[in-house]
Amino acid sequence: MSTQSVCEKCGGTGWIIVERSSVSGAERCACLSVGRAERLEERSQIPPLYRNASFENFKTEGVQELKSVMSAVKSYADEFPLGPYPGLLLIGEPGTGKTHLAVAALRRIMQKGFEGVFTDFQTLLDRIRAGYDSTSNSSNKEAYRMALDSEVLLLDDLGAHRVTDWVQDTVTSIVTHRCNNRKPLIATTNLPDADAGSSTFQKTAVGPEYRRTLRDHVGDRARSRLFEMCKVIRINWSEDYRIRRGKRF
Ligand SMILES: Nc1ncnc2c1ncn2[C@@H]1O[C@H](COP(=O)(O)OP(=O)(O)O)[C@@H](O)[C@H]1O
Ligand SMILES: [Mg+2]
Ligand SMILES: [Zn+2]
C-alpha cells in the first residue's frame, strides 16, 4: 500500500495556479513526474522472476557473443525512441537470456518515462480468446486493446502452442496496427528464422529434422512486418543459462 504524502504545492490536484504579469493560469505541478518511473514499473506487468532484470546483472562471462548481443540491446534502449528502428526482435534458443535482455531494455525505456507493458504471447492469445465470451471479466476484454495501444509492448515468446488461422490473423493485426502507428514492439522468440541466420534444421539420431520457423508460426505478413519495424538480433549461443549456472555448483 502506498503511503505517499499529499503534495504541498498542489494539494494533490496535480495543478498549481501561477501568476504571470497579473494574469493567473493553471500549470501542471512538478510532483506529477516524481516517481513516474516507479509507477510505470508497477503497472508494467513484468513477472516477478524478471522484475530486477537489467544490463548490470546480465552476466556475459567473457563470451564475446553475449557481450555483443547485450551491447546491441543496450544501444537500442539508449537510443530509444530516436534509433533507426522503433522495435526490437530477439531470436535465440531457450535459456539464452532473451526475456532478461528484453525486460532490461523495457525497464530502461520506462526510466525515460515511456509506458511499457509486458505480455507473454500465449497468455495474451488465451486472454483475447476468453474476452470474446460475454461472461468473461473485463481485464480479458482489455487485453487486446492493451496489445494494440500500449505505448511500448513487450511480446514475450512469440509462437503459439497450436497454430491456427485465428492465431496468425491475431498476431498479424497486432503487429500491423503497431507498425502502422509506429508503436514500438519488443519481441522475443525461440523459433528459428533463416533470414536472421538461424539453422532451420536440427541434428537428430535419424538425420536432420526440419524445425518449425517463425514464419510457420506467425505467418508471412506478421513476420515481414516484424522485420520491417524491428532491429533483429539473433543470439548465436546454445547454452541454457539455467543449466550453465547449475553446473558451477
Ligand atoms: N547472461 C545472464 N546473466 C544473468 N542471468 C541470466 C543470463 N541469461 C539468463 N539469465 C537468467 O536465466 C533465466 C532464464 O533466462 P531467460 O531470459 O528467461 O531466457 P530465454 O528468454 O532466452 O529463454 C532468467 O532468470 C534470466 O534472468
Ligand atoms: Mg524467454
Ligand atoms: Zn504537486
Whether the predicted pLDDT of 2 surpasses 60? no
Same domain, 27 and 14: yes
Map 185-196 to HEC letters. EEEEECCCCHHH
Residue 119 main-chain phi, psi, to 5 deg: -150, 135
Confidence of residue 1 (pLDDT cuts 50, 70, 90): very low
Cβ pair 155, 187 in contact under 8 A: yes
Q: Which atom of ligand 1 lies at the shortest distance from residue 103's CA?
A: 17
Cβ pair 199, 58 in contact under 8 A: no
Whether the predicted pLDDT of 3 surpasses 70? no
Return the pLDDT at 249: 45
Query: Which helix (H) or strand (E) segment is 117 a member of?
Result: strand 116-120
Same domain, 138 and 152: yes
Same domain, 110 and 163: yes
Same domain, 20 and 116: no
Return the pLDDT at 12: 83
Q: Cβ(95) to ligand 1 under 6 A?
A: yes
Other beta carbons less than 10 A from residue 102's beta carbon: 25
List pLDDT tens digits, range 69-92. 999 999 999 999 999 999 999 999
Q: Which atom of ligand 1 lies at the shortest distance from residue 96's CA?
A: 22
pTM, two decimals, is 0.87
Same domain, 23 and 51: no
Ligand lying nearest the CA atom of residue 96? 1
Q: How many domains does the chain have?
A: 2
Whether the predicted pLDDT of 183 surpasses 90? yes
More confident: 77 or 207: 77
Return the pLDDT at 21: 78
Return the pLDDT at 124: 95
Domain that holds residue 156: 36-247
- Please report, as a single letter, which amino acid is at residue 18: V
Q: How many CA atoms lie within 13 A of 2 on its CB side?
A: 7
DSSP 8-state secondary structure symbol assigned to residue 4? P
Gap between the terminal Cα atoms of the chain: 39
Confidence of residue 35 (pLDDT cuts 50, 70, 90): confident
Lowest mean pLDDT among 129-143, 146-160, 203-217: 129-143
Between CA 47 and CA 51 the distance in angstroms is 6
